Amino acid sequence: MEARKLEHYAYQDYLEIDKNTKERVELIFGRIYMMAGASAKHQDVVLNIAITLRNESKCKPRVAPYDLKLQCSFDSSVEPINVVQPDVMLFCEDEKLPCAIFEVLSPSTASKDKTDKLALYECAGIKEYFIVEPEYKVVERFVLEGKKYRFDANYTQNMKMWIECIGKEVDVSAFFEGVE
């Protein structure tokens, strides 16, 4: 089942919906996405990523729910303000714009994470984007070159992965520790 999608909304609409619902919502390119709760496996991977990043760097990891406001639009008829709640964000140099984002896939968010969010993070200038697949214990790494993401590689749990923001490699297995 895909996350519920509502189209043609502006930031003001988002604020009204957010205020009047207990559900988590995101606004991406004029579309409102109602977000379901995460599974235990999803949360375990999110926590492992955040702990690994905190232990490996002096940067600040933040986890959802945490609103990240990004300005970007491909269509002049759509307001450029977007609000998302990435699973893990890494703030190293800037307190408002993370240098890396990690999205942990779930059946309800996989399509959005691989398309709309990838396009948004690229447009907003997020230096690195990581798509984490907990079922197969694989991480896809995208690196911003100019204004476009370049796919770097798929990293499996028996590999080390370079994270430019922190300037070092991390063991991918740490992201999946204790996760069955």
Chain centroid offset of residue 146 CA: 20
d(CA 104, CA 50): 12
Nearest CA-CA partner of 4 in 19, 24, 29: 24
pLDDT classification of 1: cutoffs 50, 70, 90? very low
Q: What is the pTM of this model?
A: 0.92
The label of the residue with tokens 């969010």 reads 117
Beta bridge partners of 4: 34
Q: What is the pLDDT of residues 107-161, one digit of tens each?
A: 888 999 999 999 999 999 999 999 999 999 999 999 999 999 999 999 999 999 9
Position 20 scores a pLDDT of 87
Q: What is the pLDDT of residues 44-98, one digit of tens each?
A: 999 999 999 999 999 999 999 999 999 986 766 666 899 999 999 999 988 889 9
4-176, what's its fold?
Answer: tt1808, chain A (3.90.1570)
d(CA 117, CA 20): 24
Burial 78-93 (b: 16+ CB within 10 A, else e): bbbbbbbbbbbbbbbe
Residue type, 113: D
d(CA 84, CA 17): 14
Q: What is the pLDDT of residues 166-176, one digit of tens each?
A: 999 999 999 99
Beta strands in the chain (DSSP E): 4-6, 24-28, 31-35, 60-63, 68-71, 81-84, 88-91, 100-104, 128-133, 138-145, 148-156, 160-163, 168-171
